[in-house]
Amino acid sequence: MPQDAIQLSTAAVVRAGRALRDALDDPERRALAATRLAFAGERGIGVFDETTAQAFASTGVPDRAAPQAELTVDVLAAALGQIDVANTLLAASTAVGEQGAPNRTALDQPLRRAGRTVELLADLNTPPVHHFRAEPPTSSTVDDAMHILRAKVTTTFDAIVTRSSEVVAASITGIRDGGPGALADGWRWAKQNLKLDEIGGKLAKLGLRALRGALRILYRLLPSDRLEAIQERVERLVTTAEAGSPALALLGAALGADETARTAASALDARPADAGRLDDATSALTALGARHGKVMDLCGGIATAIGFATTLTGLAGLGAPGVHVIVLGAHLGLLGAVVVIGREYVGRTGETISEATR
């Protein structure tokens, strides 16, 4: 998926949002700037729809068994950009007073956030550091290689579970804030086509459209044939978590980390004799852990952005039940995505060990 297009359109919304913030005191200029922002928002939604549709069309993602790593990054980056576009539009609605008194400072925080997202998208596009030469571990004995790999396996599983749990904790807090019945409400998003077109002023409507677009793509990360299993795992996480933070053991089980770790340990106990292959596996796990970290950074950004959307929809006077459901649905969609992605990375870790010890 061309992240450049998403980055460009998000940057254009940020630019137009800043122009509106700077024009709030001048009625003529404010009206022009609001039109420009609506235009940029509309175009951003169009670019997002087009690029995501192209991405999925070219890879056939909805029916595949598991998301591909690079596509996952692209999809999450697009969703994050779109939620920040939504938040900017919702905040602009409050700033100009579409549904109530204008709020001069409403745009400040969303614009800062959206600006950071544009930078994050730039970071994703930044080419890797080119070292003069690669420096993989070169163990002198099989015992050394085994020792290093065992440690790496442990830290990789731990990191996958810990990083996932950080995102999960943020989203669970958001769902709990939704009150009783939030879970059932949230899943309605995936099953119903909510009618929100009559809610709010022009900027707020656009903001909600952008939010729905982001959610739609988030849900496309969840394989349709496994939706019920994912739903069950997510619900178990949400209902059994205490104080908004799930026990790592619970999450480890949801991601399948425990079982895979046991299988990996048994494979290593069989004492394979090729130090080179063990070292290669250590390098592969290092890269895998780094990629998962990058993906969880994006998921963390999305969790924060969704939380922010909750506040902004409230400030914009959008108290309709449908809006509430969208935000809950976003949290659940993200939780589902974290579980799917975590399971994928856990699976890859297991495969890496299995190949190294074959």
Partner 1 sequence: MAGHPTRTLLLAQAHQELTALRQLAATLAEVVPDGEAGQAVVDRFGLLTDRVARELKAVLRDPDPGTGWPSLNAARASALELTREVLAYCHGELLRRAELDHGIGDVAERLLDHLTRGAGIDRRVLLSVAESAFLTHTVSMIRNRFPDVSVWSLPVLAHEFGHHVASTMAHGDPRFRDEWRPVRQYLSEEADSGEGSREVELAHLNELFADVYATYVLGAAYPLHLLMLAAQPGPGTDTHPAWSRRVRTVLSTVDALGEDEHPTAAGFRGLSRKLASLTRANFPDAVGTAAEQALAGLQARAMIELLREHAYARARYPMPDRVQSLVIDPREPEREPVAGTTVADVLNAAWLWRLDRGDGPNWLLDEASRRAISLSQQVKE
CB atoms under 10 Å from CB of 188, counted, come to 17
Q: How far is the CB of 26 from partner 1 (least distance, A)?
A: 7
Q: Which is nearer to partner 1, 123 or 274 (CB)?
A: 123
What type of residue is 261? A
Q: Which is nearer to partner 1, 12 or 303 (CB)?
A: 12
- The 3-state DSSP class for residue 242 equals strand
DSSP string, 250-315: HHHHHTTHHHHHHHHHHHHHT----HHHHHHHHHHHHHHHHHHHHHHHHHHHHHHHHHHHHHHHHH
* Structure tokens belonging to residue 175: 């769902």
Return the SS3 of 245. Answer: strand
CB of 104 to partner 1, least distance (A): 16
CB of 333 to partner 1, least distance (A): 29
Measure the CA–CA gap between 68 and 103, rounded to whole angstroms. Answer: 43
Nearer to partner 1, 36 or 150 (CB): 36
Least separation in angstroms between CB 119 and partner 1: 7
172, 335 Cβ separation under 8 angstroms? yes
Name which of 7 and 171 has its Cβ closer to partner 1.
Answer: 7
Residue 24, helix vs strand vs coil:
coil
User: C-beta of 34: minimal distance to partner 1 in Å?
Assistant: 11
DSSP assignment of 140-151 equals SSHHHHHHHHHH
**For residues 11 and 76, which CB has a smaller minimum distance to partner 1 in the complex?**
11
Q: Which is nearer to partner 1, 22 or 274 (CB)?
A: 22
Of 43 and 150, nearer to partner 1 (C-beta) is: 43
- Least CB distance from residue 268 to partner 1, whole Å? 39
Interaction site with partner 1 (CB under 8 A): 4, 8, 11-12, 15, 18-19, 22-23, 26, 28-29, 31-33, 35-36, 39-40, 43, 119, 122-123, 125-126
**With respect to partner 1, which residue has the nearer C-beta, 15 or 277?**
15
> In the complex, what is the shortest distance from the CB of residue 313 to partner 1, in angstroms, rounded to a whole number?
27
CA–CA dist 300, 306 (Å, integer): 10
Minimum CB separation of residue 213 from partner 1 in Å reads 20
Cβ-based nearer residue to partner 1, 28 or 242? 28
Least distance (Å) from partner 1 to the CB of residue 93? 19
- Between CA 346 and CA 66 the distance in angstroms is 12
Q: Quickly list DSSP for 65-76.
A: SS--HHHHHHHH
Scanning the chain, the segments in alpha helix (DSSP H) are: 3-22, 27-59, 69-96, 108-125, 142-176, 182-191, 202-219, 227-240, 248-254, 257-269, 275-315, 321-356
